[in-house]
Structure 1
Amino acid sequence: MSAHSPLSYRHGDLVCTDHSLDVPLDHDAPGGPRIEVFAREVTAAGREHEDLPRLLWLQGGPGGRAERPNAAGAWLRRALDDYRVVLLDQRGTGRSTPADRTTLARFGEDSAAAAGYLAHFRADSIVRDAELLRRRLQGDEPWSVLGQSFGGFATLTYLGLAPEGIAQAYITGGLPTLTGHADDVYRAAYARVLAHNERFFARYPADQRIADAVAAHLAEHDVRMPTGERLTVRRFQTLGIMFGTSAKFDSLHYLLETAFTQGVKGPALTDTFLRGVDAAVSFAERPLYAALHEPIYAQGCRATDWSAHRVRREFPAFDAGAQGPLRFTGEMVYPWQFDEDPALVPLREAAGHLAARADWPALYDLDRLAANTVPVVAAVYQDDMYVDREQSLATAAAVRGLRTWVTPTYAHDGVRADRAVLDRLIAMAREAG
């Protein structure tokens, strides 16, 4: 491992220090290719010289860069009351060595090699990166970890892989099934997405007519987004990903109200609407999210085999060609998206290899989790669209000493929306200690 000299600077009332280090692509082959991992350490101004403990923020995703200080959620200000916060750009994202259509082009036609490369970007590799960073910053001293969504998945991997590195763990909306197949995840997810559709159209009943009209228009016309690619009905349906957070739930309503204008040949979709759709459905800024969305659930000898695509057939309500009102899908990723999204087209064959792989290593050490001694507290959102409540509670029961707070008050982004969420978890951890 090699490290680069840290750079410190002021950002308003925050002091930021940038860290980067070179790590092995494959931690089991340290002499092989290397990549760079970046992290930004944030401290409240005036406290930068205090001996504060560190808190590692593990972002949701997969394939999402860490929040930036100027756009971080409410949790950051609460965390800075007690910690130095380390914002890790998980490998492949942000200022860490990127993994996207540009960098993966070096594999040329060797899609199997590209898939082999991408297989090193799951939670187990992220955790081992974090351990190298922790030792670089503070030696053997453990730090605390806050895992949001997929970051919570990675936290459970961390507790099994290197529990000595964690002083205490906070998890928000991020307790996955430890043993279930991707089919189990998506089967439960489709039912939740339908419930969120019902909630949305109950709040905005006039939007059903608009959504149906947009779908009919797309089925009859070759509509191009400002970026040039065609907007299909099935891609329009993926706007349901917006239902899962309080910050975006209502955004779909305000997008739909801009949908139509009167064109030369009759009703036409507006550029405002099409630009908004593109911003919501494009994977240009997060290609790893699409490529790894199912592999983050893959363990053992059973392939995911495009699970969300297969399981969708069990839910005919999402069939846009059938009679009945249009229903939006959620965060599911489908093989056809690698044909329709220009950011994903170059990754299509590699994604196919990942979907077919049937020899994934385990992500969770069940024995270690059952014998866990690290204080762990978790917020479980009762109506979370992205992470199933019952699967979360089953996982909580499998981790020794894990304490849960089940709340109906917040959506999946609760920790970003209200500092009271992290405040509650910190209080729970102190009570347990």
Structure 2
Amino acid sequence: MTTANRLRTDRLPGLVTTAYTFDVPVDHAAPQGEHLTVFAREVVAAGREKDKLPWLLMLQGGPGQPCERPTAPSAWLGRALKDYRVLLLDQRGTGLSSRVNRQTLPLRGDAKAQAEYVAHFRADSIVRDAELVRQALIGDEPWSIYGQSFGGFCSLTYLSLFPGSLRESLITGGLAPLTATADEVYRALYPRVREKNEQFFARYPEDAEIARRVVDHLLAHDVRLPTGERLTAHRFQTLGMGFGTHREFDSLHYLLEMSFVDGVGGPELSDPFLIQAGARLSFAGAPLYALVHEAIYAQGCASDWSAQRVRAEFPEFDLEGDWPVLFTGEMIYPWQFDEDPALTPLKDVAEILAARTDWGPLYDPEVLARNEVPVAAAVYFDDMYVDSAYSLETASVMGATRAWVTNEYEHDGAGRSASVLDRLIKMARGEL
């Protein structure tokens, strides 16, 4: 039986947080086998610690990203704390839960054993962890869930597996395609990324020439980051991963404008540019993201480096030529496991996972069709990460589901404005 191990309570301005750990099985099909640790942080508004409040579990985006570290009751969290006691879960493999990275995975044995272990780090396992956490904290009492991005994918898995444990489900930018393969997903997303590039260069027209100049320089020179690895042209191209968030256009612009400096041998990429670009490109903080990203779409088939294969259908993303450079988005490519030191030791593991065909189902369409748990979802019409057409298709086949379609916000809308979660709460309660 899983128990809640209370670690400490901290007081921040406007917040009281309590840290917990929980022991859960690596493989929920073998509960008596090996266990790992999951970390979670309870957050309550200051002065309401002893109030009887309903619980809201926050399922973070990713995959492979830890939950946010609260510093103030702002945006979605501030709104949630008006009504709920919030639990911020570090999904298995992330944050202060048992970590997965180049340092820990070799403890599993060879690449095959490591891949078998990582295969237990998808939404189905995350949700089963959360269900054990719920029982340890509040017994048979149901709770509400809030899923952002990949956390919304996890929410649909939760609704498939344990609908009786839920009061309501709030989702932002995370109504997942229920049956689409990774290939189908990327065929929808590459045009979205192209559109974001067009918007970026419309805002900063001069950056098209700078990006082309950087690519040509990288194609002609062996440029090294301060950490020692080479900065290649196609690695530079992945700096568009954040294009679907509110401030990323400006952030990349300010990076590009400092790209070159006149050195002894002529123009070269500046140290400030290389330092910042290297930090943005490294997966040292989230290697699990790279390992399982395509697997979040795999149900009974191999992902087989889908983003790399489907990219061949979009030649406008090719780098060599005199046409404009287009940055790529939330895509993982096999060459990244050759070039990123945080991923290089995991290359064989990634290859095994990409070839794996026996991935189990993540959703139960029949259960979701009969769903009676109130679901309110924000669908961002121009979302670069989760195609809105797929999201609306999912909403149309789920019971008790209401979708709010908006182009007022980007993918990170709930992190910017409390009004996003406020609207979803009112929708779930039938007030809107």
| TM-score band, normalised by shorter chain | over 0.9
Asked if the contact 1:242–1:252 (Cα under 8 Å) also holds between the matched residues in 2, the reply is: no
| Corresponding position of 1:95 | 96
Question: Equivalents in 2 of 1:165, 1:335: separation in Å?
Answer: 39
| Corresponding position of 2:219 | 219
DSSP 3-state at the match of 1:348? helix
User: 1:131-155: per-residue Cα shift (whole Å, max 9, x none)?
Assistant: 0110111111110100000000000
Post-superposition offset of 1:249 = 2.5
Post-superposition offset of 1:73 = 5.9
Q: Does 1:51 align with 2:62?
A: no
Post-superposition offset of 1:105 = 1.5
Letter aligned with residue 251 of structure 1: S
Letter aligned with residue 262 of structure 1: D
Aligned runs of 1:74-223 on 2, under 5 Å? 74-108=75-109, 110-223=110-223
RMSD between superposed Cα atoms in Å: 1.2
Asked if the contact 1:235–1:281 (Cα under 8 Å) also holds between the matched residues in 2, the reply is: yes
| Corresponding position of 2:267 | 267
Question: Equivalents in 2 of 1:71, 1:394: separation in Å?
Answer: 36
Post-superposition offset of 1:72 = 7.7
| Corresponding position of 2:9 | 8
Asked if the contact 1:38–1:96 (Cα under 8 Å) also holds between the matched residues in 2, the reply is: yes
| Corresponding position of 2:384 | 385
| Corresponding position of 2:244 | 244
TM-score w.r.t. structure 2 length?
Answer: 0.98
Q: Does 1:358 align with 2:361?
A: no
Question: Equivalents in 2 of 1:157, 1:25: separation in Å?
Answer: 18
Runs of 4+ in 1 over 2 A off after TM superposition: none
DSSP 3-state at the match of 1:314? coil
Question: Equivalents in 2 of 1:72, 1:381: separation in Å?
Answer: 24
Question: Equivalents in 1 of 2:7, 2:169: separation in Å?
Answer: 26
DSSP 3-state at the match of 1:49? coil
Q: 1:98 to 1:72 in 2, by over 3 A?
A: farther
Question: Equivalents in 2 of 1:89, 1:149: separation in Å?
Answer: 15
Question: Equivalents in 1 of 2:7, 2:231: separation in Å?
Answer: 44
Post-superposition offset of 1:422 = 0.4
| Corresponding position of 2:324 | 325
User: 1:214-260: per-residue Cα shift (whole Å, max 9, x none)?
Assistant: 00111111111111110000000000112110032321101101101
Post-superposition offset of 1:11 = 1.6
Question: Equivalents in 2 of 1:47, 1:3: separation in Å?
Answer: 21
Of all paired residues, the percent bearing the same amino acid is 61
Post-superposition offset of 1:270 = 0.8
Q: Which runs of 5+ in 2 are unaligned?
A: none
Q: How many pairs does the alignment contain?
A: 431
Letter aligned with residue 310 of structure 1: R
User: 1:12-50: per-residue Cα shift (whole Å, max 9, x none)?
Assistant: 221001111110000000111110000000001000110
Aligned runs of 1:26-65 on 2, under 5 Å? 26-65=27-66
DSSP 3-state at the match of 1:431? coil
Question: Equivalents in 2 of 1:105, 1:131: separation in Å?
Answer: 29
Letter aligned with residue 251 of structure 2: S
Post-superposition offset of 1:7 = 2.0
**Mean alpha-carbon deviation: is it higher for 45-54 or for 71-80?**
71-80
Letter aligned with residue 130 of structure 1: A
DSSP 3-state at the match of 1:43? strand
